[in-house]
Structure 1
């Protein structure tokens, strides 16, 4: 009778290295997501099938759902926009306004910005989200 115990090797999975890798991946994606668009104003844009991009001297005007106006990420009042655009249009020969408007904003508020662009003869593009 052989009553000796057999020495079987134990199988272990060391998960500490896996948790370190997952932590570093999470940290990388958090940092990368904040760097990609650091100063973007969150808006829900309307959708469009035929979107075009603009590559000239551009000015972005954003209108939030609370009717706050931002011109190149700087908050301005509605009556200040025309003066600032006039100053910019004298410096640049082909100025284009990219208008970002939340989809819940009334069309009359959009038309006010369009009227300012028409008075100054500046091309205006309404930004949309692709479907």
Structure 2
């Protein structure tokens, strides 16, 4: 007497769950992509008034090609540069200075001044010209 099995393993694959996952991913990406594009459009930048400009001239550190330093067009030795900058910028609420370096100035000279700004948490701007 031959017994037949009642529980056979089905070799078919149901795609119903796969379509649900794809549909949910599609909805997710549609919502996030529209949120990203809207945030870029809705940004409103503040407008500056002409009356808000600073009354004093910003401090400028000039570095020549030969490695000589100038603060507000006055020559200063490299060793005294940090002390002069700290004494010049100590009374400012938002201490900022500008680096004006010659195009052929060595990188290490510019980095030296940038390290002073980083050490004392000064804001820094690098002056450039358009070609």
Q: Distance in 1 between matches of 2:116 and 2:105?
A: 17
Aligned to 2:99: 99
Aligned to 1:119: 119
Q: Comparing both structures, which one devotes a greater share of its residues to helix?
A: 2
Please list every run of at least 4 consecutive aligned residues from structure 1 whose deviation after the TM superposition is greater than 4 angstroms: none
Aligned to 1:108: 108
Q: Secondary structure at the match of 1:97?
A: strand
Q: Distance in 2 between matches of 1:90 and 1:97?
A: 12
- Structure 2 residue runs without a partner (length 5+): 1-52
- Which segment drifts farther, 108-117 or 89-98? 89-98
Shift of the alpha carbon at 1:89?
A: 2.2
**1:1-131 correspondence to structure 2 within 5 Å:** 56=54, 58-131=58-131
Please, what TM-score do these two structures have when normalized by structure 2?
0.55
Higher RCO (CA 8 Å, separation ≥ 6 residues): 1
| Structure number, greater radius of gyration | 2
What root-mean-square deviation, in Å, do the aligned CA atoms of Structure 1 and Structure 2 show?
A: 1.4
Q: Secondary structure at the match of 2:98?
A: strand
Please, what TM-score do these two structures have when normalized by structure 1?
0.55
- Structure 1 residue runs without a partner (length 5+): 1-54
Q: Comparing both structures, which one devotes a greater share of its residues to strand?
A: 1
